[in-house]
Amino acid sequence: MRKVYVFAALLAAGAIASPALADRAPTAEERAAIERALRAAGFVSWEEIELDDDGPYWEVDDARTKDGRRYDLKLAPKSLEIVRRKLDD
């Protein structure tokens, strides 16, 4: 039973000691580059843009094309190439 308490204490200490990485918004320069890439790919508007630390990837919510279709996108962080395009129902 004591081993369980020691293990739980170690887990808690590790969680406190290692800060969680959080998604972040793009800088002004990053945002301008992402918006140029989105327009070049045929998108006319979009909602939130953030760097997802799980990839890392730039995530773009509700990117809209001229015909009104909405997509959730993931862009490569350096090249800004669209690596995932999911039609948003």
* All residues at 6 or more sequence positions from 23 whose CB lies less than 8 Å from its CB, including other chains: 50, 51, 52, 53, 59
Q: Which domains, and CATH codes, for the chain? A: 22-87 (3.10.450)
pLDDT of residue 22: 74
Q: Is the dihedral of CA 23, 27, 31, 37 positive or negative?
A: negative
Residue 76 confidence (pLDDT): 97
pTM score of the predicted model: 0.74
**According to the model, what pLDDT value does residue 27 have?**
97
Q: CB–CB of 64/45 below 8 Å?
A: yes
Which tokens belong to 85? Answer: 């395009």
pLDDT in tens, 18-71: 445 578 999 999 999 999 999 999 999 999 999 998 889 999 999 999 999 999
- Report whether 85 contacts 73 (CB < 8 A): yes
